[in-house]
Copies of this chain bind each other. A is one copy, B any other.
Amino acid sequence: MTIEPNTSQEARRRIRSGEWTDPTAGLAPGFVQANLAVVAEDLADDFERFCQLNPGPLPLLERTEVGSPIPVKLAPAADLRTDLPRYRLYRDGTLVEEPTDIVTLWRSDLVAFLIGCSFTFDAVLREAGVPVRHLRPGGNVSMYKTNRMTNPAGPFAGPLVVSMRPIRREDVDRVIELTASLPIAHGGPLHVGTPDLLGIADLSAPDYGNPASVGEGEVPVFWACGVTSQAAAEHGGIPRMITHAPGHMFITDLQVTR
């Protein structure tokens, strides 16, 4: 664990000011990054249950008080309405807007959930000498809906979403072990090697994020992904749900420990 005070705060300041509107991969390395999901109070218990029943894609890190956009545990000085680079608004299961803040969309009956993200382990992989290709300014991973279904809770259901990283064959065992130690970032991969087995027909056409090609000597490695909550918003036709835009995460003050 390295202590780099203010690095998460500095990243959030740049995001809040509008200076940074890109994906957060590689920002503030060593700090835990998180998915955001915001639902109305009447759906909050169902959504929390959805996380509990699907701790692989949705490791719940914090639930805010009703009406509060302040994550008092993970970053008490932050504001979830402004401190992510890009958001998504879903109405009746349809994506209708991708704003860079949600100040005017916020309401006193909303509850925010912060959920672990695989960007958290990218820094760990790079530190261990494993190349992680999307770690360049503005880079994003490839994310895919799979043929595996989540355990439903209330109106929340739908396919498991995974992220994919092309990994050199000789690094795979080490990558499995390194990420297995970080369940807060989805833990070890769900699958290595064969996209077909997850119902992914074309790696070059991800459902979210950027395409990535798997080079010579590399294999595709798949991790459970927090964008599963967005697939649930779509699948369940949730009346109103706000999330981060895929790859545009919340950077917490919590540091990675292994």
A residues in contact (CB < 8 Å) with B: 49, 52-56, 59-62, 73, 116, 148-149, 151, 176-177, 180-181, 183-184, 187-192, 224, 254, 257-258
Complex CA gap A231/B217 in Å reads 43
Across the interface, do B190 and A180 meet the contact criterion of CB distance under 8 Å?
Answer: yes
- How far does the Cβ of A4 sit from chain B's closest Cβ, in whole Å? 17
Across the interface, do B148 and A258 meet the contact criterion of CB distance under 8 Å?
Answer: yes
Closest to A257 in B: B151
Closest to A192 in B: B177
- How far does the Cβ of A219 sit from chain B's closest Cβ, in whole Å? 13
Complex CA gap A221/B73 in Å reads 34
Secondary structure call for the A interface: mixed
Closest to A60 in B: B52
Closest to A182 in B: B56
- How far does the Cβ of A35 sit from chain B's closest Cβ, in whole Å? 14
- How far does the Cβ of A196 sit from chain B's closest Cβ, in whole Å? 14
Complex CA gap A254/B61 in Å reads 23
A54: chain B residues within 8 A (beta carbon): 183-184
Max chain B C-beta neighbours (<10 A), residue from A54, A59, A180, A190: A180
Closest to A149 in B: B257
Across the interface, do B184 and A55 meet the contact criterion of CB distance under 8 Å?
Answer: yes
Closest to A61 in B: B52
Complex CA gap A66/B165 in Å reads 44
